[in-house]
């Protein structure tokens, strides 16, 4: 592999690592308790609605959960403690985002791994396809072409 091509692959790998690092980096979280409550409410499903978060829903259950979240934040509870309390009350289906550790972490990792493997597969296929382009003509092929390109006997005035 040429040095230039290797540098290209290394640059692409560096960009991928940087993008993944930036994507999973913690931004420091919300600055105010209201922002924190809103972010937490966006990760909790409305138990009375279909497909809405507690932050989006105006159902009584969602209003109650938003109030509970705000009260628990004022009491100094962590986001994980509030989520655990909601899971204990409503069940695991109350969370819209899967856990990022253990088996739940596979939900976050598998799509990235599948994408990387797919891109590697496509690169390998193109590499093989490019390498197999050297097809050589046989002696029989060359003879056939020579006969086809030879001046015909009729053009020279001879009888066949």
| Residue whose tokens read 């053009």 | 155
**In the CATH hierarchy, which fold is given to the domain comprising 3-97?**
Helicase, Ruva Protein; domain 3 (1.10.8)
- Inform me whether the pLDDT recorded for 160 exceeds 60: no
Query: pLDDT tens, 71-119?
Result: 999 999 988 899 999 989 888 888 887 666 667 677 778 888 999 999 9
Residues whose CB falls within 8 Å of the CB of residue 100, separated by 6 or more in sequence, listed in order: 108
Round to whole Å and give the CA distance between 57 and 64.
11
Share of the chain residues as helix, strand and coil, in percent rounded to the nearest 5: 65, 0, 35
- What is the pLDDT, as a whole number, of residue 10? 85
Reference 69, options 49, 55, 59; nearest CA is: 55
In the chain, where the domains are located: 3-97, 103-160
The pLDDT of 139-155, averaged and rounded, is 81
The pLDDT of 126-150, averaged and rounded, is 82
Reference 63, options 37, 88, 81; nearest CA is: 37
Let me know if 3 is exposed, middle or buried by CB neighbors in 10 A (0-12, 13-18, 19+). Answer: exposed
How high is the mean pLDDT of the chain?
82
| Residue whose tokens read 């979280």 | 29
- Inform me whether the pLDDT recorded for 127 exceeds 70: yes
The confidence band for 141, taking pLDDT boundaries of 50, 70 and 90, is confident
The CB-side HSE value for 87 (13 A sphere, CA atoms) comes to 14
How is residue 152 annotated by DSSP? Answer: P
Query: pLDDT tens, 12-70?
Result: 888 888 887 877 766 666 678 889 899 999 999 988 888 888 999 888 988 999 999 99
Q: pTM for the complete prediction?
A: 0.50
């Amino acid at each position: 592999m040429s040095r230039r091509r290797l540098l290209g692959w290394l640059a692409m790998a560096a960009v991928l690592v940087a993008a993944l690092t930036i994507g999973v980096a913690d931004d420091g979280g919300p600055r105010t308790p209201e922002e924190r409550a809103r972010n937490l409410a966006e990760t909790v499903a409305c138990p009375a609605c279909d497909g809405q978060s507690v932050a989006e829903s105006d159902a009584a259950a969602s209003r109650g959960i938003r109030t509970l979240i705000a009260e628990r934040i004022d009491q100094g509870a962590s986001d994980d403690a509030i989520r655990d309390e909601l899971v204990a009350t409503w069940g695991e289906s109350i969370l819209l985002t899967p856990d990022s550790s253990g088996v739940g972490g596979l939900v976050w990792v598998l799509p990235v791994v599948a994408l990387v493997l797919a891109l590697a597969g496509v690169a390998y296929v193109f590499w093989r396809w490019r390498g197999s382009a050297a097809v050589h003509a046989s002696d029989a092929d060359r003879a056939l072409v020579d006969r086809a390109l030879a001046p015909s006997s009729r053009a020279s005035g001879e009888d066949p």
